[in-house]
């Protein structure tokens, strides 16, 4: 256990921290995953200190070369985070001092652990959101690829889990793709909101040194700097934004997964899962269970719980920094990990779905799915919709009593309920004709579905282009050069 002289704050204290307190407050076991991002931020801070001549060139040379070497070794796995340090920030400074001597103790000039923690976490959040967005695009690609094959495959659309109106399978799949598109917008927004550099805010009141926060932001590839030093070190809205966006994504994955579970039942039979994405029973040899989809449903509960925990964590904290913030890491990390992992599983399951189109089309019978079409037919012939609704209800009752579909009622029987029905009424009552007639924007008609496919393709292509355009922070690109120090100072 480090003595007070070895801690970042040890001068004030005459005795070591009690072992129980030390263990209770130690965050290294989970914040160690921020090491790369903290090293990048430290490189940017050190370079800014050199350029503003806050640090002498001889000291900053040693600091920059030491940090660059540590980053290289961390990224190659040669250097692992561990030891008695209370957090990853302390570990970095201790390791740097061991390598470059007293010059390493100057790195913390014009910086607090408050802005240091915040910038490392923001960099981490943005990187992980990019990974998750890549998964969202991947799942959208699978769904749209399948939809393109089923523009004229029809099945019941449901409300209240009761058959409502006929739709195409493509239209149905594109509804899930649209949910993912909304998720991508939320995740992009969370990424943008996390793009503020807090370096230079210090503990809460900035610093008396002539720093250049904009330079740090530029070196780290962040979009902008802070407006108020007290706000930025006490701000965890970007954590809430990322967690919320991932929770909504998890809810959408849960709804899709629930459909996989439902559709794979013998009672529905709309799909069959490939053996590679199903699992069996320990006692019932015949079982083929959609366990991955079931667990996807369950994972959403974790994401929702984490958002609730983070909101409760933040709700009563006074300005500015409080050590309660330490509790945001594990909840955030779990949410990001869960979202990333869930998307990988969802993509695998989606690819393993075999659609039983014959069963889907057989399900079009028995639900009176074109009752609304009959009402619309009457409206077009001058009947007020509410009256048409009532007349069609009577026709439905007759059809049910006769054990037939609306389109199977003979013309004269149909006219007893719907006197205004035209000679062409049976033509509009077929499910395929009903789908084709629903040619309103965003509807299930094949032409409209093609428009939707093209729009989703454009959106996904734009997202993929944005992800491809994301580059390493300038300070990391400099670090990767062959001559580490010269590149870092260039």
* HSE of 12, CA atoms in CB hemisphere, 13 A: 3
- What are residue 162's phi and psi, to 5 degrees? -115, 145
Residue that has been written with the tokens 């003595």 in this structure: 3
Positive or negative CA dihedral for 89, 95, 100, 105? positive
HSE (side-chain half, CA atoms, 13 Å) at 350:
25
Its sign, for the CA torsion 276, 280, 286, 289, is negative
Q: Is 112 a catalytic residue?
A: no
* Active-site option among 18, 149, 281, 390: 281
276 annotated active-site: no
Q: Are the CB atoms for 356 and 271 separated by under 8 Å?
A: yes
Catalytic choice (58, 160, 276, 282): 160
Rounded to 5 degrees, φ, ψ at 228 are -140, 120
Question: Which of 195, 350, 136 is CA-nearest to residue 264?
Answer: 350
Which residues are marked as active site? 160, 281
């Amino acid at each position: 256990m480090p003595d007070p002289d070895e801690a970042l704050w040890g001068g004030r204290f005459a005795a070591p921290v009690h072992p129980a307190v030390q263990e209770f407050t130690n965050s290294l076991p989970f914040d160690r995953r921020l090491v790369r991002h903290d090293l990048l931020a430290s490189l940017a801070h050190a370079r800014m200190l050199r350029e503003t001549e806050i640090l002498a060139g001889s000291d900053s040379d040693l600091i920059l070369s030491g940090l660059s070497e540590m980053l290289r070794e961390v990224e190659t796995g040669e250097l692992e985070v561990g030891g008695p340090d209370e957090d990853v920030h302390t570990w970095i400074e201790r390791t740097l001092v061991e390598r470059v001597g007293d010059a390493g103790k100057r790195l913390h000039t014009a910086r607090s652990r408050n802005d240091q923690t915040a910038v490392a976490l923001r960099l981490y959040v943005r990187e992980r959101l990019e990974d998750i967005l890549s998964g969202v695009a991947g799942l959208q690609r699978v769904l749209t690829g399948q939809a393109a094959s089923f523009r004229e495959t029809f099945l019941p659309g449901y409300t209240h889990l009761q058959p409502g109106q006929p739709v195409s399978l493509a239209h149905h799949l594109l509804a899930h793709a649209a949910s993912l598109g909304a998720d991508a917008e939320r995740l992009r927004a969370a990424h943008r909101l996390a793009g503020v550099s807090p370096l230079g805010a210090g503990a809460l009141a900035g610093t008396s040194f002539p720093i250049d926060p904009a330079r740090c932001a530029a070196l780290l590839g962040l979009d902008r700097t802070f407006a108020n030093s007290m706000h930025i070190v006490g701000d965890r809205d970007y954590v809430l934004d990322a967690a919320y966006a991932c929770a909504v994504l998890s809810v959408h994955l849960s709804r899709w997964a629930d459909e996989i579970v439902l559709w794979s039942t013998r009672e529905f039979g709309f799909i069959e899962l490939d053996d590679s994405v199903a699992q069996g029973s320990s006692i019932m040899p015949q079982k083929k269970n959609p366990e991955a989809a079931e667990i996807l449903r369950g994972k959403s509960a974790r994401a929702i719980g984490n958002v609730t925990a983070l909101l409760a964590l933040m709700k009563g904290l006074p300005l500015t920094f409080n050590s309660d913030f330490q509790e945001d890491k594990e909840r955030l990390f779990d949410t990001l990990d869960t979202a990333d992992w869930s998307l990988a599983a969802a993509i695998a399951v989606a690819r393993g779905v075999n659609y039983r189109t014959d069963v889907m089309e057989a399900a079009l019978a028995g639900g009176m799915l074109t009752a609304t079409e009959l009402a619309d037919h009457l409206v077009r012939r001058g009947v007020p919709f509410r009256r048409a609704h009532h007349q069609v209800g009577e026709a439905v009752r007759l059809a049910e009593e006769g054990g037939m579909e609306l389109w199977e009622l003979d013309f004269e029987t149909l006219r007893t309920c719907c006197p205004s029905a035209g000679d062409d009424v049976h033509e509009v009552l077929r499910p395929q004709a009903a789908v084709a007639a629903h040619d309103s924007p965003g509807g299930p008609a094949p032409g409209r579905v093609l428009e939707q496919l093209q729009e989703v393709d454009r959106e996904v292509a734009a997202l993929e282009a944005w992800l491809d355009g994301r580059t390493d922070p300038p300070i990391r690109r400099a670090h990767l050069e062959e001559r580490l120090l010269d590149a870092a100072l260039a």
